[in-house]
Amino acid sequence: MTTLIDKTSPARSGGQGPSGSGRRGPVVILRGSGRYRLILAVCLVLAAGFVAWGGTLQPFEQGQLTRAGIFAIAILGLNFTTGYVGLLSVGHSAFLGLGAYTTGVLVVNYNQTALSTIPVAMGICFVVGLLVGIPALRIRGLYLAIVTLALGVAFPEIVARLGGLTGGAEGLTIRRTLLRPPEWSGFTLGEKDQWLYWLTIVCLLLAFVVLRNIITGRYGMAMNAVRQNEIAAAASGVNIATVKLLSFAVSGAITGLAGSLFAMYIGSLFAEGSFTVLAGITLLIGLVVGGERTMLGPIIGGLIVVFLPYYTSDIGGGQFSAVLFAIALIAVVFVAPDGIAGGLGRIIRKVVRVDARRPDGGREGGLFGDAPTATATESGSAR
Amino acid sequence: MLNVSDVALTFGGIRALDAVGFTVGPDEICGLIGPNGAGKTSIFNCITRIYQPDSGTITYGDTDLLSVPRHRVVGHGIARTFQNLALWPQQTVLENTIVGAHSTATPNLFASAVGWHATRKAAKQVERDAWDLLDRLGIADLASHPAAGLPFGTLKRVELARALISRPSMLLLDEPAGGLTHSEVDELGDLILDLRRELGFSALLVEHHMGMVMRICDHVVAMEFGRTIADGSPDDVKRDPAVVAAYLGTPA
């Protein structure tokens, strides 16, 4: 048995855990335990119910839900780099536009099916994300925001310049027949909006799962580390440059996916209309109000940036609606500085807390006793 | 093992290091002492590639450390702690520890995106190591607590866990006893000696607490004004006139 440290060291006088001192703390649930899975299952059923309900809605309402889903995907992408790695991007509208125009140009000029353009759009946005990530290696914070702002401002201008390909200022119209749902889906041309709703849901789900896998895993921990202290991250072996570049690229690809869906949704693309810096700021608003660095925040943010303007314009017309929208946003940020998802999370954690569970299977032979991994050459003397 | 020779470093007109040289042997605990501003932390920052010296060489085994990028240093077996703590406050104690293993089991973005079985298995392994270490350092029941808000002494242990999980052959400890009470300092000294016996590593220790330096170090290097002024056994260095003068001043 190895010598153990004195258990009464001041470190533990915090009274952690529910069974501690008189004050009642939150109920602790271990990650991966039966109760944890039960709660997760209930949440999944609720989400599935909501999605199924959306499937039965009238075309207009369903279209709005599709739009919210598309924005949710775009904000998920933004959250990945701006939220977790802390690389502030104002110009993510450019990725939205790049994805949209990739799909538009390939469908209209090169006769591709809409669905097949999605991976191409994501690939192009990934590469452009890598390139745009390069300035992020040297600068951060507001200075990086200005670089990305320039990207957002430049995008509509570039689209206008490449008029032969993109239709320039007149825009690019994708005829409805070109957006026919594929045979195997079972949807007819008349059910295009239904098809797009379900396509968006599937893409949202895939993006959510993939990003969640990264964020909750060790790569995600390294991303958080880079945001909070670069020197400590590097001293722990994290390659700061790789993490920043790849996070920007993945972020661009996911937002590009949203752009591709957006092109199918809107049908006619005007860079001056949909993909200006204002769209980039809308994504940021969705991120901050929904909840930075949470998995649900981008989804809440997507719903907010699409639906909140409707409600405010119901109450007050014209410019007054914009003022109401602004007041609502300020109110949210005032009440919950960490966004709606962050605020809800804080309240929930007062009642239920999820803790990491220690993996099963105790060791024999002390520290790293039977560890089969790495550095075997250095510790040759160990047993 | 670790060989620092003739290292010089200037910031603008200020000479932080001026021809510093010493060697740390295998399994040796070497103390680095000197008044504030002598350049002890600057040496650490040169070894871990945060600063680029103007001249001199730093080698570890056969490796020229000055040609190694910053994030690769720990992969060569050199892990460090920081004088004023450099943890990630919003992450839990467990997560802070796990990131320390980045060099020995580097996670791949794309593999973790799809959740490969092998990736999960490797992650589980790292997680086990982290729990074992936290247990060994007596802070396992704080694993799910964010680093922010924990006492200083505890956070020093979290840093130690983060450094140890990379299985270093050379541990750089920057004032590990700073801010600890007397009994905690004694406990820490024992802990370092025990861990060296269990895991096998050399250590370079910047420390102001002379009791601890004299007790656990095999070898002491004294610095003043960016120069090495003494190098030898703890007892010899303690009696060295230059060291006494540096700490107490010369009689007028």
Q: Measured between beta carbons, which residues in chain A are less than 8 angstroms from residue B157?
A: 11
pLDDT of residue A8: 40
One-letter amino acid for residue A326 of the chain? A
Q: Is B223 on the interface with A (CB under 8 A)?
A: no
Dist. CA A301–CA A69, nearest whole Å: 10
The CA distances from residue A258 to A111, A301, B227, in Å, are 21, 14, 59
In the numeric block, the tokens 């804080």 are attached to A346
Token pair in block for residue B115: 């959740």
State the Cα–Cα distance between residues A213 and A55, nearest whole angstrom.
27
Contact B115, B143 (CB under 8 A): no
Residue B161: closest CA among A88, A236, A77? A236
For chain A, the average pLDDT equals 86
Q: Give me B105's structure tokens.
A: 């089991």
Q: pLDDT digits over A75-112, tens only?
A: 999 999 999 999 999 999 999 999 999 999 999 999 99
Interchain pair B50, A381: CB under 8 A: no
Q: Which domain holds residue B167?
A: 2-248
Alpha carbon A27 to chain centroid distance?
29
Neighbouring C-alpha atoms within 13 Å toward the C-beta of B112: 21
* B80 backbone dihedrals φ, ψ, rounded to 5°: -135, 165
C-beta of residue A76 within 8 angstroms of C-beta of residue A211: yes
The residue among A341, A63, A334 whose CA lies nearest residue A191 is A63
- Give B174 to chain A, closest Cα distance, Å: 13
Q: Across the strands, what pairs with B4?
A: B22, B58
What pLDDT does residue B17 have?
Answer: 94
Counting beta carbons within 10 angstroms of the beta carbon of residue A88, is it exposed (0 to 12), middle (13 to 18) or buried (19 or more)? buried
B184 interaction partners in chain A (CB closer than 8 Å): 9-10
* B70 to A235: CB separation less than 8 angstroms, yes or no: yes
Tell me how many helices (H) and strands (E) chain B has: 9, 10
Q: What is the pLDDT of residue A7?
A: 39
Is residue B198 less than 8 Å (CB to CB) from chain A?
A: yes
B7, β-bridge pairs: B20
Does the pLDDT of residue A263 top 50, yes or no? yes
Does A215 contact B at CB distance below 8 Å? Answer: no
> What CA–CA distance (Å, rounded) separates B105 from B166?
9
| Strands B2-11 and B29-33, bridge-based pairing | unpaired
Q: Which residue has the tokens 């010899």?
A: B236
pLDDT of residue A370: 45
- Under 8 Å CB pairs connecting chains A and B tally to 184
Pairing state between β B63-64 and B78-80: unpaired
**Sorting pLDDT into bands at 50, 70 and 90, what band is B26?**
very high
Model confidence at A211: pLDDT above 90? yes
- CATH assignment of the domain containing B15: 3.40.50.300
Quote helix, strand, coil % in chain B, to nearest 5: 45, 25, 35
Inform me whether the C-beta atom of residue B132 falls under 8 Å from chain A C-beta atoms. yes
Kindly list the residues from chain A whose CB atom is less than 8 angstroms away from the CB atom of residue B108. 219
Length of chain A: 383
- Residue B61: helix, strand or coil by DSSP? coil
Identify the band that residue B104 occupies on the pLDDT scale cut at 50, 70 and 90.
confident
Report CB contact under 8 Å: B129, A371: yes
Structure-block tokens of residue B144: 């799910």
pLDDT for B50-69, tens place per residue?
Answer: 999 999 999 999 999 999 99
Paired with B58 in beta bridges are B4
Q: Chain B: residue nearest A234 by CA?
A: B71
Whole-number percent of chain B with pLDDT over 70: 99
pLDDT of residue B251: 67
Cβ contact, residue pair B100, A236, below 8 Å: yes
Of A175, A184, A206, the residue nearest A77 (C-alpha):
A206
ipTM over 0.95 threshold:
no
The two three-digit tokens of residue A321, written as one number:
């609606």
- Among B48, B65, B71, the strongest candidate for a mutation testing the A interface, having the largest count of A CBs within 10 A, is B71
- What does the pLDDT read at residue A23? 60
Q: Would you give the DSSP letter of residue B9?
A: E
Q: d(Cα A157, Cα B236) in Å, to the nearest integer? A: 74
CB atoms within 10 A of CB A80: 28
Q: Please tell me which residue of chain A has the smallest CA distance to B138.
A: A5
Q: Give residue-wise pLDDT tens across range A110-152.
A: 999 999 999 999 999 999 999 999 988 888 788 899 999 999 9
Could you give the CA distance from residue A145 to residue A82 in angstroms, rounded to a whole number?
10
Angle value at C-alpha B3, between A383 and B5, nearest 5 degrees: 175
- Average pLDDT over chain B, rounded to an integer: 92
| pLDDT over threshold 80, residue A28 | yes
* Predicted pLDDT of residue A2: 39
| Count of alpha carbons within 13 angstroms of residue B113, beta-carbon side | 14
Instruction: Let me know: does B95 contact B186? Beta carbons within 8 Å.
Output: no
Cα(A205)–Cα(A64) distance, integer angstroms = 18
CB contact under 8 A, B187 and A246: no
Q: Please tell me the predicted confidence (pLDDT) of residue B37.
A: 87
Q: Is A178 a residue whose pLDDT tops 50?
A: yes
Q: How far is CA A13 from the centre of its chain?
A: 38
Residues A78 and A302: their CA atoms lie apart, in Å, by 12
Token output for A72: 């949710």
Q: Tell me the nearest-neighbour CA distance from B178 into chain A, angstroms.
A: 16
For residue A382, what pLDDT is reported?
Answer: 34
Contacts 24+ apart (CB under 8 A), B226-230: B226/B8, B226/B9, B226/B15, B226/B16, B226/B17, B226/B18, B226/B20, B226/B38, B226/B39, B226/B42, B227/B18, B227/B19, B227/B20, B228/B19, B228/B20, B228/B21, B228/B22, B229/B34
Residue B45 has pLDDT above 90, yes or no: yes
- Per the CB < 8 A criterion, the answer to whether A314 and A128 are in contact is no
Does the beta-carbon distance from A236 to B106 stay under 8 Å? no
Residue A16 has pLDDT above 50, yes or no: no
Dihedrals φ, ψ of B41, to 5°? -70, -30
**Quick one: closest CA in B to A365, which residue?**
B198
User: What pLDDT does B118 receive?
Assistant: 85
The Cα A352–Cα A374 span in angstroms is 38
pLDDT band at A377; cut points 50, 70, 90: very low
Dist. CA B236–CA B252, nearest whole Å: 25
Residues A162 and B170: their CA atoms lie apart, in Å, by 58
Q: Is the Cβ pair A225, B132 closer than 8 Å?
A: no
The one-letter code for the residue type at B179 is G
Residue of B nearest to A374 (CA): B104
User: Would you call B166 an interface residue with chain A, using a CB distance cutoff of 8 Å?
Assistant: yes
Selected residues 244-273 of chain A with any CB under 8 Å from a CB in chain B? 246, 250
The pairing of beta strand B2-11 with beta strand B14-24? antiparallel
pLDDT tens digits, one per residue of B175-184 = 999 888 888 8
Q: What are the structure tokens assigned to A105, written together?
A: 């140009």
pLDDT value for B138 = 93
The pLDDT of A183-198, averaged and rounded, is 90
Instruction: Tell me the angle at which helices A319-335 and A277-290 cross, rounded to the nearest 10 degrees.
Output: 40
Residue A374: which residues within 8 A CB-CB, separation 6 or more? B104, B105, B167
Cα-flanking dihedrals φ and ψ of residue B235, to 5°? Answer: -65, -45
Work out how many domains chain B is built from and give that number: 1
DSSP conformation letters of A311-360:
HHHHHS-THHHHHHHHHHHHHHHHH-TTHHHHHHHHHHHHHEEEEPPPPS
Q: What is the pLDDT of residue A15?
A: 40
pLDDT one-digit tens code per residue, B204-249 = 999 999 999 999 999 999 999 999 999 999 999 989 999 988 888 7
3-state secondary structure A184-242: HHCCCHHHHHHHHHHHHHHHHHHHHHHHHHHHHCHHHHHHHHHHHCHHHHHHCCCCHHH
Q: Is residue B84 packed enough to be buried (19+ CB in 10 Å), middle (13-18) or exposed (0-12)?
A: exposed
The residue among A28, A84, A215, A219 with the most chain B CBs within 10 A of its CB, best to mutate, is: A219
Give the pLDDT confidence score for residue A378 in this predicted structure.
Answer: 38
Whole-number pLDDT of residue A13: 39
Residues from chain A that touch B151, judged by Cβ atoms under 8 A, are 10-11
A150-173 per-position pLDDT tens digit: 999 999 999 999 988 888 888 899
Distance from C-alpha of A7 to C-alpha of B163, rounded to nearest angstrom: 22
